[in-house]
Chains A and B, each alone.
Chain A
Amino acid sequence: MRLDGNRRPMRGRTSRLTAVIALITGAVVVAAGCSSSASKSKTTADSGKTATVSISLTPQGCAAKPAKVATGDVQFNVTNKNASAVSEAELRTSNGSKILGEQENLTPGLSGGFELTLAPGSYELNCPGASQEHWKFTVTGKSTGASWQSNPQLASAVKGYTTYIDEQTTDLVSSSQTFCQAVNAGNLNQAKILYPKTRVYYERIEPVAEIWGTLDTEIDGRWENPVTVASQFIGFHRLEQLMWSDNTLKGAPALCSGLVKHEQQLLTLVKSAQYNPLELASGATDLVNEAATSKISGEEERYSNTDLPVFKANVDGAMEVVTLLTPYLQKKDPSLLAQIKQRDAAVLTALSKYQASPGYDDTGYVEYSTVLDTQRRTLSSSVNALAETLSKVSTQVGTA
């Protein structure tokens, strides 16, 4: 997974992580896995020397020489002498699910490379187009430095988060299917009620969905991102525009089935994804940043004005992380934890002023367009305070 030009510039958990990793490893090409033992940073493993591995791309494959190195920094030098059907080498986790590093676009006569800091374990070296595409690569030794995996509280938090993401994504798919039934039946009123109820599942886990490049745009892209091209405006917000702005479901069934298809792709990816505590923490901050930015302004749900339930979903997704990390933070930094909880309570208090029953379109909240600028500012102040505190969690877990 690379930094993708289509990604929304404002968001970017992965881009941020990638940037950090690139600085740490000084890699020529770094492809940050969304979890990746490879991204165990140099901060814990910078004492050793760099191993050099040569990979020659041939029509037959991409054997690494040597195929086994000791843990630490590894420089991969990739050359292509004469393999016209093969042009890239990529190192993946052993199950092949994530690219950790790669060199692309090596036509015959070219060479390149990438550097990674690798933890002990099995890896897979891939060279698409060769007669044998998958090759084994092994890193030996003991993990250097402390690992979050040996901390039961962090390991448990990550496990809990994996479950949470699975559940939310599963519910996203099933809720979208129900929503699409109303769309397909031409029941506009029912579809309008189901739309925000479906959105919340996505808005609780959005930073995870953003890991996979364009998928976030396909599901949740707004008109203005990534580009104002109608054919790429296909997800939730295109449906929102049809229903509220154009007051029609014409063309909606096809969009809806496309939405579900992308969500199912997400679910497949999520099922095999691995996370680390740093991603939990930075993802939580990103979620609250989202609430503070695109929800407060009303731009996220600009056609439907159903920003308040998704604002709440952003905060919920972030606080789920806090709940999972609570046993850890309780020990590590109880005053930070207390401040987070206090500020979360302040957000909920600010938000409660706009609760209604059944509320606008059965959302439990008032229509967002009725919330005045001065009131939005109060809401914004509380959610920014929460985000600021949440941003201090990452260093508590990132170096564990």
Chain B
Amino acid sequence: MTDELTNGQDNQDDPSAGPSRRGLLAGAGLFGAGAVAGGLGGYFGHSGGGSAAANTSDVVGDSDQTVSFYGTHQAGIATPAQDRLAFGTMNVVSGTSRSDLRDLLKDWTTAAARMTAGQLVGQDNQPYAPPLDTGEAVGSPVSRLTITVGYGPSLFDKRFGLAGKKPSALTQLPPLPNENLDPDYTDGDLCIQACSDDPLVAFHAVRNLARIGMGVVEHNWMELGFGRTSTTSTAEATPRNLLGFKDGTRNIKAEQTELMNQYVWTGPESGQAWFHGGSYLVARKIRIFVENWDRDYLQDQEHVIGRSKVAGAPLSGGTEFTEPNFAKKSSTGLGPAIPMDAHMRLASHEHNGGTRILRRGYSFTDGIDPQRGTLLGGLFFIAFMQNPSQFIKLQNSLAADALNEYIQHTGSAVFACPPGLKKGQSWGDTLFA
């Protein structure tokens, strides 16, 4: 993978700042094969030892590749979707002051810049202090880790004096079709989206930021995604969701700068200067009743989606990337080739006055439904957009979606993801200015 794809079109900073975890740790005794060097002082290896070790590593593919933390926009939005997700929402603990919150965002920035560069949160460990880094990612290649932060509507209430800084469209979503929301998976003052090709690296990022935030923020809910379901770059192949269909064929791609500017990045219309160059993140936990879906016959599955299952071509003909022809009649002559209630028709920009969003979702599972004894999993839908009204419009269109028989939205949240940072800046600098 080439560097220009690491974080959209706007990151000019050196993406390989800092040695990789693997490089840092090669030779460290506790987890590697080397001898224990200098007792606990050498617990996580030594700074500056990276380059030589990194050159001799047996890294497969691009696993040592870093995505720059800095840039015009936050990484993790236009970045080609990584394979794994750890998504945590947090609430600010009562009694927290404005300056506490600001300090936390600063600490998070420092830690996130380190982790995304393949460095541990800290390595100046003392024998009688808990290790600065929790350690599970030691030895794991950074695997394009990105950490993206967002602010929920509730952060802009009276608590921190931020009411005047609230972006105009940042509100809870209205009630939407086919949802049965579980309060345990709804809302949050803050969110952290960590994406990496290595699940441990993504999890490690959220865990360590939560640890740093203890006493200021508390976990609200968390979800792990085990397979990307969207393509956000023309360089990526289209993955499949748990329905077994290709997902994201018609998604906005990071290379489509005009569409990104028109539908994804915020600007003056957001009403807040600090938010220019940011994006709204809508998260929806969508349960798929996979057992029911798996019982549906193939042709019906294809009619529900509007595409062929294996090739992913629209039912109007062609191959995966052929533009759908919604007017084309079916071969039987009864109605259109892409049925009126097909998911891809109702979700299409043609059907929604041109409205588009950048989808960046992941498959998830929470194990087994304790009441039903069925698989508890589905799509952890994440989408970025210039205004949540885009999602609201699309979701209302999906009220007639044939797929609704097999899915249910059970979690929901909206966040305002601030723009990217320059070196030396911290999250919250402009918000609290």
Contact = CB atoms under 8 A, between A and B. Distances in A.
A46 B42 CA distance: 15
Interface string B27-47: 000000000100110000000
Nearest to A41: B127
Interface string B126-137: 111110000000
Nearest to A380: B218
A24 interface: yes
A42 interface: yes
B327 interface: no
Contacts of B36: 23, 26
B128 A278 contact: yes
Contact of A24 (B40, B126, B129): B40
Nearest to A389: B215
B214 A23 contact: no
A382 B129 contact: no
B40 A384 contact: no
Interface in A353-400: 377, 381-382, 384-386, 388-389, 391-392, 394-395, 397-399
B173 interface: no
Contacts of B126: 395, 398-399
Nearest to B220: A377
A204 to B, nearest CB: 23
Interface in B202-217: 211, 214-216
A20 interface: yes
Contacts of A24: 39-40, 127
Nearest to A391: B130
A377 B219 CA distance: 10
Interface string B71-108: 00000000000000000000001010000000000000
A385 B93 contact: yes
A37 B36 CA distance: 24
B39 A381 contact: no
A388 B211 contact: yes
Interface in B196-251: 211, 214-216, 218
A398 B127 contact: yes
B128 A394 contact: yes
Contacts of A42: 39
B215 A394 contact: no
Nearest to A381: B218
B39 A382 contact: no
Interface in B165-202: none
B124 to A, nearest CB: 11
A397 B127 CA distance: 11
B224 to A, nearest CB: 20
Contacts of A339: 215
Contacts of B216: 385
A147 interface: no
Top 9 nearest A-B pairs (CB, nearest first) are: A398-B128, A395-B129, A385-B215, A381-B218, A388-B214, A395-B128, A395-B126, A394-B128, A391-B130
A385 B215 CA distance: 4
Q: How large is the interface on A (under 10, 10 to 19, 20 to 34, 35 or more residues)?
A: 20 to 34
Contacts of A346: 93, 95
6 contacts: A20-B128, A26-B36, A346-B93, A385-B216, A398-B126, A398-B127
A399 B127 CA distance: 9
Nearest to A373: B184
Contacts of A26: 36
A343 interface: yes
B39 A399 contact: no
A23 B126 CA distance: 13
Given A23-B40, A42-B39, A346-B95, A384 B128 contact: no
Contacts of B129: 391-392, 394-395, 398
A324 to B, nearest CB: 18
Contact of B127 (A43, A381, A382, A385): A43
Contacts of B93: 346, 381-382, 385
Contacts of A398: 126-129
Nearest to B95: A346
A389 B216 CA distance: 12
A389 B40 CA distance: 22
B39 A388 contact: no
Given A24-B127, A398-B128, 16 more contacts: A24-B40, A46-B39, A346-B95, A377-B218, A384-B214, A384-B215, A385-B93, A388-B211, A388-B214, A388-B215, A391-B130, A392-B130, A394-B129, A395-B126, A398-B126, A398-B127
A17 to B, nearest CB: 10
A43 B125 CA distance: 13
B39 A385 contact: no
Nearest to B125: A395
Nearest to B218: A381
A382 B40 CA distance: 31
A399 B128 contact: yes
B36 to A, nearest CB: 8
Contacts of A397: 128
Interface string A7-44: 00000000000001001101000000000000001110
Contact of A23 (B39, B128, B130, B215): B39
Contacts of A343: 215
Contacts of B211: 388
A41 B128 CA distance: 10
A382 B93 CA distance: 8
A381 B218 CA distance: 6
A61 to B, nearest CB: 35
A161 to B, nearest CB: 17
A385 B93 CA distance: 10
B2 to A, nearest CB: 42
Contacts of B215: 339, 343, 384-386, 388-389
Interface centre among B129, B211, B215 (most CB of A within 10 A): B215
A374 B130 CA distance: 29
Contact of B39 (A43, A386, A394, A395): A43
Contacts of B95: 346
B292 to A, nearest CB: 30
A331 to B, nearest CB: 18
Contacts of A386: 215
Nearest to A382: B93
A21 to B, nearest CB: 10
A11 B218 CA distance: 24
A347 B214 CA distance: 14
Nearest to A339: B215
A140 B331 CA distance: 99
Nearest to A392: B129
A388 B134 CA distance: 13
B286 to A, nearest CB: 24
A157 to B, nearest CB: 15
B133 to A, nearest CB: 14
A104 B36 CA distance: 27
B218 to A, nearest CB: 4
Nearest to A26: B36
Contacts of B39: 23-24, 42-43, 46
Contacts of B218: 377, 381, 384
A395 B132 CA distance: 12
A346 B95 CA distance: 8
Contacts of A43: 39-40, 127
